[in-house]
Amino acid sequence: MEKIKSKGYAMFSKEGPFKPYEFERHAVGDNDILIKIMYAGICHSDIHQARSEWNEKEHYPMVPGHEIVGQVTQIGRNVTKFKVGDYAGVGCMVNACKDPNCDTCHGNREQECPDAVFTYASHDKFHGGEITQGGYSNNIVISEDFAIQVPKTADMEKVAPLLCAGITTYSPIQFSRIREGDKVAVAGFGGLGHMAVQYLVKLGADVSVFDVSEEKREAAMKMGAREFVDVSKDTEFFKKHLNKFHFILSTIPAKYDMSAYLRMLEFGGEFAIVGLPATQNLPSISLHSFVFTPNRKIYGSMIGGIKETQEMLDYSVKNKIYPQVKIIKGAPDEVAKQITEAYNTIVDGKVQFRFVIDMRDL
Ligand SMILES: [Zn+2]
Ligand SMILES: [Zn+2]
């Protein structure tokens, strides 16, 4: 079978910058679809991985990108979920074992499968150990089971970030069973945070937002938050909110004081962590904080399974819940430069809220 030729944008070392890059993908198998990528979002995780900040094995050249939407241009002969011309999305994973005896696959939590293959910089044992390449490119080959159906009524320019930022925040909100009237907080108001606020407001929760950039206050209030707390100005911010929240979702991608957030939870309240700072910059929390702020629960959450991702996408499109995006487009050299710059803007917390790369002309 013919390998698929691809063009994309890669980092060749952890220092960067991005440059146009040509490579090959595995052939379209019987259960696979080929997607011509239209848009790819830039996630903060892309930056951590492209810069080797998570102590993972380095794979360069690396084409990041796990927020992907495009159009199906070819299907394998066993494919039933997609037709040529349909719109499809790809998120953070492209394969898992799918063995009925695998608890995580069977339980629709493929992201936890020991054999899960992530969308880029991941060892693909199902394709001879090739290293996957992500969505900052013009096409991708994926098993139909791991592709998400995107209704043609979706706003294509904005839909891609739902595949990571959307599901990453939607999933813990479901897991913690947030309901109308619950007092909740979102810590970190960036790409993930601004999705979380929209889902929580839609559910009728009473939402407070904590962030370090005063410039984001207006957007938070417009999205329906009750209050915006600029924690850069007031390190004692937690004192005004002691024991107040039923649920706090932390999307913070840098070091922060976790015990301050724990103290804002009510008895039995839940603190869900989705933001993953660089390894050298991890927040920590002492056992004392747990014991002296008793009976509060902390858990981490990692994207969501394929079934839940499809649910999230359908829910978001139906309710018109989308990220606010800034489109990167132009000639390939220009786009490569803009991606490199976008990374710095995101790390500085200055983007409102998601960069999306237009791949249609690549
Ligand atoms: Zn992501
Ligand atoms: Zn499995």
* Helix 306-318 / helix 165-175 crossing angle, nearest 10 deg: 100
- Across all residues in the chain, what is the average pLDDT? 96
Which residues keep their CB under 5 angstroms from ion ligand 2? 96-97, 102, 105, 113
> Is 276 within the bounds of a domain?
yes
Whether 54 and 276 have beta carbons less than 8 Å apart is answered as yes
Tens of pLDDT, residue by residue over 278-323, are: 888 899 899 999 999 999 999 999 999 999 999 999 999 999 999 9
> Is 135 within the bounds of a domain?
yes
Whether 148 and 310 have beta carbons less than 8 Å apart is answered as yes
Residues 13 and 152 in one domain: yes
Q: How far, in Å, from the CA of 163 to the mean position of ligand 2?
A: 20
DSSP string, 263-285: TTEEEEEEEEE-----GGG----
Residues 150 and 170 in one domain: no
Q: How far, in Å, from the CA of 97 to the mean position of ligand 2?
A: 4
Q: How far, in Å, from the CA of 129 to the mean position of ligand 2?
A: 17
Ligand closest to Cα of 43 equals 1
Residues 128 and 14 in one domain: yes
Count of the separate structural domains present in the chain: 2
> What tokens does 192 get?
């993930």
pLDDT class of 238 with cuts at 50, 70, 90: very high
Residues 250 and 236 in one domain: yes
pLDDT of residue 315: 98
Residues 151 and 43 in one domain: yes
Span 187-197, mean pLDDT?
96
Q: How far apart are CA 260 and CA 236, in angstroms?
A: 8
CATH code of residue 143: 3.90.180.10
Q: Is the pLDDT confidence value at 94 over 80?
A: yes
Neighbours of 27 (CB within 10 A): 14
Query: Torsion over CA of 213, 343, 254 and 298, rounded to 10 degrees?
Result: 100
Residues 172 and 156 in one domain: no
Residues 145 and 214 in one domain: no
User: Considering the entire predicted model, what is its pTM?
Assistant: 0.95
List the one residue out of 338, 352, 348 whose CA is nearest residue 136: 338
> Is 310 within the bounds of a domain?
no
Q: Note down the domain range covering 263.
A: 166-300
Ligand closest to Cα of 44 equals 1
Q: How far apart are CA 101 and CA 16, in angstroms?
A: 42
Of the candidate ranges 97-106, 257-266, 346-355, the one whose mean pLDDT is the lowest: 346-355
Q: How far, in Å, from the CA of 179 to the mean position of ligand 1?
A: 26
Q: How far, in Å, from the CA of 107 to the mean position of ligand 2?
A: 9
Q: Is the pLDDT confidence value at 184 over 90?
A: yes
Tens of pLDDT, residue by residue over 135-177, are: 999 999 999 999 999 999 999 999 999 999 999 999 999 999 9
pLDDT of residue 280: 87
Residues 123 and 238 in one domain: no
Q: How far, in Å, from the CA of 293 to the mean position of ligand 1?
A: 31
Residues 189 and 99 in one domain: no
Q: How far, in Å, from the CA of 1 to the mean position of ligand 1?
A: 31
pLDDT class of 249 with cuts at 50, 70, 90: very high
> Is 238 within the bounds of a domain?
yes
CATH code of residue 212: 3.40.50.720
Q: How far, in Å, from the CA of 124 to the mean position of ligand 2?
A: 13
> Is 305 within the bounds of a domain?
no
pLDDT of residue 298: 96
